[in-house]
Homo-oligomer: A and B are copies of this chain.
Amino acid sequence: MASGADAGNGRDGLGELIGLEVLEESDEGVRARVAVTDRIRQPHGLVHGGVHPVLAESICSGATRRAVEPEGMVAFGQSNSATFLRPINDGHVNAAAVVRHRGRTTWIWDVELTDDEGRLCAVVRMTVAVRPDPR
Contacts and interface: CB of A to CB of B under 8 A. Distances in A.
Contacts of A58: 42, 48, 50
A40 B44 CA distance: 24
Contacts of A84: 76-80
Interface in A66-92: 74, 76-87, 89-90
Interface residues of A, number: 67
A1 B38 contact: no
Contact of A81 (B45, B81, B120): B81
A15 interface: yes
27 contacts: A4-B89, A6-B89, A8-B46, A9-B38, A11-B41, A11-B43, A13-B38, A13-B42, A13-B48, A14-B42, A17-B17, A17-B40, A42-B57, A42-B58, A43-B62, A46-B76, A49-B77, A49-B80, A50-B53, A53-B53, A76-B84, A76-B87, A81-B125, A85-B101, A85-B103, A86-B101, A123-B125
